[in-house]
Each structure stands twice: as structure tokens, then as C-alpha cells.
Amino acid sequence: MKEQNRCLYCHHPLYTLGDGMVKCSVCKKKYSTKRVAQIKALIQLFCEDENALNASKTLELSYATVLKYYQTFRHLCAEYCEAQYEIYRTAESQYEEYLYIEKSKRRDKAAIFDSHNFLTFSYKQHVYTLLMPSLGMFKQQFLEDNLEGVYVKEFSKFMRTSKIIKISEHDNAITKFWHYFEQFITTFKGVSNEHFPYYLKEAEFKFNTPMHRRADILEQLYFRPTGSDI
């Protein structure tokens, strides 16, 4: 077996096996260098905001495969954002509530029940988002009680008259993130309620993290020691 490079996980010498995979001499981790190169390329494209379809064409992989990896990357983004906030949460922060409704639904006041409501915290010029419970869970009850119109009217009035009172500057990290998020989310052709939290965290991660650091962070998270081979 020929030694080459260093282990992706513990940085000790690697050896090539008969099936073309490599194995670490210390941690005994075994993986395919070709697969690792593909994953790193996918991480780079993800960090550069390349969509899954284009990434699948660029790397000649199936769309379903790329989509699966992208979802994994979004989960890692969420994990990283949570960890960062835990570190800096004691820093002085501000927050405000944000309501997101797809552009195609914004003329329909009743679409409020399909909205995504989240808090945006600002700390050290970074943001942290906290998704609130969906209003959709109350829709059926309002319909049964014939109160849907009343609720929509009152909520619309509140949205028109409410102002940002919890933040000291209008042009700060919070409002900058809102503008960023609006542009970010519209690049996708609809996001399901199930996956929305992870797209939100992807936007948070990318907003907080300079382009040149994104891939390194996700690679470190993705290639942590695990019990399975790549």
C-alpha cells in the first residue's frame, strides 16, 4: 500500500487500498478521494449560491443527489448558526419581528395564515433568526368561528401602524438581513413549510459569513469523524 497525503479527519498518513479507496493509518477511516472531491466541489457551489440544478449539470451528478447534499449543507448551516449564537448571545443585541409572505400571495390578505413569522436578533453586526409558530394552525378555528375576516382586518391594521421600536437604527444588520433574505428566498421556486427553517438558516449563515470562509466552515463540519465511510 502506498502512502499518500494526509487523513481528512485526523491528518495522519493515508494508504491506498486495492479497491482504490484510501485508509488512515491511525483512525482507520476509509473513504474515496473521488467522492471527497465531489463533495468539496458541491460545497463550493452551494456557498457561491449556485442552485442544485446547475450544480448537477456542472458536476454531472443527478439532481436528486445534489438536492440531498444541499439539504445536508443547510442542516450544517443551521447547526453552525446555533453554535455561534450560543457563543455570542451575551453580547448586547437588538431584535425585531419579521413577517415573510411569498410575493405571489401578498395581494391576498388571507395569505397571512400562510406566512412565515420569525424574530431577527442582531449581535456584533451578525444576525440570529428564530422561527415562530405558523399562523396556519389557527386558520381552521377562525374559519369555523367565522372570524377569519375580523382577524385579517385587525392584523393588517397592526402591520400598517407598527414601527420598529426595539432597534436604534433603521439601517442596521437586522434590516440589511431582511433585504438580503428577500432577494435570497425569491431565487427558489417555492419553499415548503417543512424545509423553510433550513433555507432561513442558510440565508443567516451566508449573511453572517464572508464568501471566502463559507466553504472552509462547511467542510470542517461535514468531514468531522463519524462512524461511516464516504
**Among 202, 183, 200, which residue's Cα sits nearest to residue 43?**
202
In percent, how much of the chain has pLDDT > 90? 42
Type of residue found at 140: Q
Type of residue found at 179: H
Do the Cβ atoms of 4 and 22 come closer than 8 Å? yes
What's the CA gap between 24 and 230, in Å, rounded?
13
pLDDT digits (tens, 9 = 90+) for 23-79: 988 988 888 889 999 999 999 999 999 999 999 999 999 999 999 999 999 999 999
Average pLDDT score, the chain: 82
pLDDT digits (tens, 9 = 90+) for 142-166: 556 555 555 555 555 444 444 444 5
Q: Is the model's pLDDT at 186 over the cut of 50?
A: yes
The full 3-state SS of 117-184, as one line of letters, equals EEEEEEECCEEEEEECCCCHHHHHHHHHCCCHHHHHHHHHHHHHHCCCCCCCCCCCHHHHHHHHHHHH
What's the CA gap between 25 and 7, in Å, rounded?
8
In angstroms, the first-to-last Cα distance of the chain is 19
Confidence of residue 207 (pLDDT cuts 50, 70, 90): very high
